[in-house]
Structure 1
Amino acid sequence: MKIGIGSDHNGFEFKEEIKKVVEEQGHEVVDFGCHSCDAVDYPDVAFEVAEAISNEKIERGILICGTGIGVAIAACKYPGIRAALTHDTYSAERAQLSNNAQIITMGAQIIGVEVGKKVVEAYLNSQWASGSERKVNKIIEKEKEFINKIND
């Protein structure tokens, strides 16, 4: 799989370690930045990863900021994107199995790198089972409803 990964400056070092895990699992990494500890606004990176998924340039994404909350909120603003905040392996598995989340987010200041590696492994080793398809479709339909209201 082609996996997009991005972070703000708070998650830079964490991201660099997570990239290694993704590659070790045999996936291709597309790094959307940031590329140093210099200050970067997390919405910019989150929007780039979300857009790449929407345009099918990558299959899944991993976003990291201080808490994981900001990048999750930002990515979910992009139409069609389901980003899930994950800080343990169970939530990472469920993000994919139950919600078909294209992106997981993590907080570098909340969990350690070793836990983050296990979270990523759990997410990448899980496949959408469509068992909750009815629920996910409700989310998709509500989003379409709001987009149609805006376009009217």
Structure 2
Amino acid sequence: MNRIRPLIAVAILLGAVLSRGAPASADLLPLDAEISIGREAAQIIEDQYPISTDAILAARVQRIGRRIAGVCGRPDLPFSFKVIDTPDINAFCLPGGFVYVFRGLLQGVPDDDALAFILAHEIAHAVHRHALRQFEK
């Protein structure tokens, strides 16, 4: 349950922000609001999960992530890429381009091409505003 609490907090935060007179469609939400929602959610995540201090691992994820983000069609998003230092096998993207990859997932990724595939998948969630669209439903 302790690992689910931050995700519940993010869901409540997104629900509250999107229901406070915000546009019914994620496409109508202003960019600054999208980034603000993501930044607040990122703070909740980072308060609950340890962020890796492994500079080499972080640099690898950032290098590959930034390269993909540079051609993703959303140059307006301030993409950030961080490694959560737990053995879980997961990755996710918050609104505004805040991408997290768990150390456990990275340990099973055979090469940079496979990591690029994972990061491209998460970046696509930001590009298409999937997290925001989930709260429209």
Query: TM-score normalized by structure 1?
Result: 0.27
Give the structure with the larger strand fraction.
1
Higher relative CO (Cα under 8 Å, sequence separation at least 6) belongs to 2
